[in-house]
Copies of this chain bind each other. A is one copy, B any other.
């Protein structure tokens, strides 16, 4: 299968390029390096050092014995997108080329608009390029479980049968996203639903849970091939942030009460699920929605788990909840379906403890890079638009005033 990955320089993209190649597929990639710039803009960097693309491509070819065709360009430029699709003739396109950060979208009007315009435009460009060149190309788009919000109902996979005032219909499940970023993903989902309906396109829209982890079996042992690993409050996901904090003895910082429940999956399970999705494309005209996660956890319990596992490795980390910079329910019902992937053959790795330990061990080798960004580990972008560092909720806030974190913030 020929697979074009947009956003191939990113956390999931770089991992997937290798995983699919090992599975015998022909992979090409595209990236405009915006993620590198965004992370730099908010003052952070990847815990794993990320070489320039040329070096990455070189390491890739050396390891896998074939090159990764690569296009450097901006997906908001339609001519660029059409040209890539024309030249590579993919059977499937995996679209990771969007801005993935809720806090980044909440910075101000310019960031909010940028994230929505960027994410809507890149997806529209892919839709139109596929329609123009080969409507049978399977488009796999990365959405997020956050599109649904936290309704007081079970969350089906995209659609539900509803009865209302004595009549019945099958309808899209209502979305209740919680940030400009999350809504940008809903906007994209809605556009894809229309493309399937009017143009007979085949789309898989993945409502992915929170991914964690660093290694995949394909990338272990060769640092030149490691994916990026963000640990800042803008681009780092929660378990990854906890692990980076633990490695430098920084408190683990759940937001608010920490009773928020979310779906999670290890990076390697994400790879497995994406492969299954690609190997089992939907019918022409089908807009298929998958809820992609392994298990549901409370973020407070995950902090305890990381703390516990870290201590077995001799790392001591306290848990200190911080003010929740987001406006979200902290006490809510959460019961999303995730059956479709199991029907396709998904076998969950079921070893979160192992994944966390492996992550802690690898991150320990990059301790200095994390330490150098200690001053940005507390969230500072609030949902009310203010940029103001979150206070610790319990314990001695005075102590914070004098710790190194605070000193570096000034």
Contacts and interface: CB of A to CB of B under 8 A. Distances in A.
Contacts of A409: none
Interface string A195-216: 0011100000000000000000
Interface string A75-118: 00010000000000000000000000000000011101100110
A345 interface: no
A174 B173 contact: yes
Contact of A176 (B108, B112, B171): B171
Given A124-B113, A124-B116, A191 B197 contact: no
A187 B177 CA distance: 12
Nearest to A328: B198
A408 interface: no
A178 interface: yes
As for how many copies of this chain the complex holds, the number is 2
Contacts of A183: 187, 190-191, 194
Interface stretch (A146-154, A235-243, A289-297, A365-373): A146-154
A333 interface: yes
A120 B168 contact: no
A384 B197 CA distance: 11
Interface stretch (A10-18, A59-67, A157-165, A351-359): A157-165
Interface size class of A (residues with CB under 8 A): 35 or more
A151 B171 contact: yes
Given A117-B117, A165-B153, A194-B179, A384 B199 contact: yes
Most chain B CB atoms below 10 A, which of A117, A177, A327: A117
Contact of A198 (B187, B193, B384): B384
Interface of A: 78, 108-110, 112-113, 116-117, 120-121, 124-125, 128, 131, 151-154, 160, 162-165, 167-169, 171-180, 183, 186-187, 190-191, 193-194, 197-199, 327, 333, 383-385
Given A153-B168, A172-B174, A173-B174, 9 more contacts: A78-B110, A112-B124, A113-B124, A117-B117, A152-B168, A154-B165, A171-B174, A172-B175, A197-B327
